[in-house]
Chain A
Amino acid sequence: MLGAGIIKGMAETARNFIGSYTEANLLVTVEYPEQRLPLKESMRNFPFLVFDGEDWQKGLRCVACQICEKECPPQCIFITKDAAKKPDYMGKLQFQPKVFDIDTSVCMSCQICVEVCPFEAIKMDTEFELSTDNRFGDLLLNKEQLARSNEHYHKIHPTEATEVDERLAGEKAKAEAKAKAAVAAAAAKPVLPPKPTAQ
């Protein structure tokens, strides 16, 4: 019958109208600045530098190897090495970055810097409210602005951060065992020829 479809359609819209007051799934709006959806763990935006401990200057994992600078496709990372060396998390002496800048107006969030970093020093952040009224200066982030604690990393990407921590702890344990074995071997040398000890 002519007009039956209109009645059916109007019933449907009325159901949605009333449902928007009574049913949660019929009102999908999230009022963004006041309400926020939890961010997905897989979300990534711009890179940050991880540091361990309390002091970002002491704990920075970056050793200024410049691999990320070379690999960065849009060339948004600028690193200058510091002359002085500092011990890293394994106690090895390493260079430090004197300058570490990322131009977020150039960065394309490809995560290649994270993939290539052998020191787990650079990771992707989830912060996205980065707008400024200054077109150039405020989007060029320096070392201090980029530094985030390992706790922050755990908060935004818990699974990934736990894996990274386990790997680092494993490497550290391995290195310590090696060092201990070397010490033991050195001590035992005059008496017996070196035996392969359990690592």
Chain B
Amino acid sequence: MFEAIDQIFVALKHWVVGQFPAAWQPLGSVFLSIIPILAVFPLLFAITTIVERKTLGRIQNRLGPNRVGPFGLLQPVADGLKSLTKEDIVPYAADQVVHFLAPIALIVPVLLAFSVLPVGRNMVPIDLDAGLLFFFAVGAGSELAVFMAGWSSRNKYSLLGAMRAIAQMVSYELPLILSSVTVVMLVGSLSTVKIVEAQGEAYGWLLKWHVFTPWGLAGFLLFMIAAAAESNRTPFDIPEGESEIIAGYLVEYSGFKFALFFLGEYLGLFAVSSLAITLFLGGWHAPFSFLEWIPSYLWFFGKLSAFIMLFIWLRGTLPRLRMDQLMNLAWKFMLPMCLINIVVAAMWHFTAHWQFVGAVLCRWLLCGAAIGVPYLWLGDALFGEKKLAKRTYRFAD
């Protein structure tokens, strides 16, 4: 019974594909894998915009949008219609072709990235052996799109925004990949499906999610910071930086192209959050073995919603970083921590055969210290309070 509900979408797809003539079945199967991605995630984007505005409003002691429909829930429809009917203005001096292609070049790689993310048991469009590599490879394409937008607009703010975006995305690509390398090391596979399966075993009733290990916890936090930076979310939204460079690379975009950029950014956020779930939070697995009867896709989308709420919460809390702070954080803090975390993951792996009493606690203390001490030391050295000596004046006393 629970099995049937869990596999209802898979079964539905098989049944529909079965209706096609045999020669068309592969094409039909591809089609039926793409359609849900194109339907579900943009819908999630629409819901996210209204939820984000409402939540930010509440955080700032306001009501948020509440004029369109009951409780303002139809606001995304109004926003969509508005952006569709708005005039599409292309600057006279802009590079017309590149300016037109930039939003498309942002959307396509992001949508491609969803093709390797398992959203439920047996629910992955393609199970690539190198799924994780594929994800990062197409994910890097969004940097090109951002630079295309910034360069082709022929506007100094656009170019500054694009420059910042490139600097930020290239810098944070490294911690993003290095923090997921630990997972690849311990699972021994680049396939996202295998990574999720590896987290399905249980210690008693608690599942073996990677986040329940010292290296997984550290890797998860590092991954989240890098993910926020990759998807240009606050506190790393300096490529847009409304107060400094108006809207960065979006300055010369209006109407539906602007909406496409927004869609692309949010889809990127969903994709990278989904990857965080896949790598560290057990993908579509329940946290406890006795909760496994809840359908796997519900677990996945529940976790994704929690991630979206977390990012909104962060956006309501943190101010924007300065460019030098951003670079310091990436190269002086994130990168060393990621490298240390790889060593910690190796330590965890090579102490796995310890059998004596209290071995798990011992491993936790060892690995926790190996990642925790550098964290405290680096954090204090880089961002701690500067201890200034009392200033003495030679002549002015």
Contacts and interface: CB of A to CB of B under 8 A. Distances in A.
A43 interface: no
A1 B55 contact: no
Contacts of B62: 27-29
**Highest count of chain A CB atoms <10 Å: which of B317, B378, B383:** B317
B103 to A, nearest CB: 32
B380 A2 contact: yes
Contact of B63 (A9, A10, A13, A27): A27
Interface residues of B, number: 22
Contact of A1 (B316, B317, B318, B379): B379
B58 interface: yes
B100 interface: no
A3 B334 CA distance: 13
Contacts of A6: 317-318
Interface stretch (A15-23, A95-103, A142-150, A152-160): A15-23
Contact of A13 (B59, B66, B378): B59
B314 interface: yes
A20 B314 contact: no
Contacts of B328: none
30 contacts: A1-B380, A2-B333, A2-B375, A2-B376, A2-B378, A2-B383, A3-B379, A6-B317, A9-B317, A10-B313, A10-B314, A10-B317, A13-B59, A13-B316, A14-B313, A16-B58, A16-B59, A16-B60, A16-B61, A17-B55, A20-B59, A20-B61, A27-B61, A27-B62, A28-B62, A29-B61, A29-B62, A29-B63, A31-B63, A31-B66
Contacts of A12: 317
Given A16-B59, A21-B58, 13 more contacts: A2-B378, A2-B380, A3-B379, A6-B317, A13-B59, A16-B61, A17-B55, A17-B58, A17-B313, A20-B58, A27-B63, A28-B61, A29-B61
Interface of A: 1-3, 6, 9-10, 12-14, 16-17, 19-21, 26-29, 31
Tell me if A's interface is mostly helix, strand, loop or mixed: helix
A12 B313 CA distance: 11
A12 B319 CA distance: 14
- The binding surface of chain B is classed by DSSP as helix
A23 B60 CA distance: 13
The 9 closest A-B pairs by CB, nearest first: A2-B379, A20-B58, A13-B317, A9-B317, A29-B63, A13-B59, A17-B58, A17-B59, A13-B316
Contacts of A31: 63, 66
B285 to A, nearest CB: 27
A47 B382 CA distance: 64
A28 B61 CA distance: 6
Contacts of A28: 61-62
A88 to B, nearest CB: 51
A19 B382 CA distance: 35
A31 B376 CA distance: 48
A1 B383 CA distance: 9
Interface string B38-55: 000000000000000001
Contacts of A19: 61
Nearest to B67: A31
Contacts of A26: 61
B381 to A, nearest CB: 10
Contacts of A9: 317-318
Contacts of A2: 333, 375-376, 378-380, 382-384
Interface string B310-336: 000110111000000000000001000
Interface in B60-90: 60-63, 66
Interface in B359-386: 375-376, 378-380, 382-384
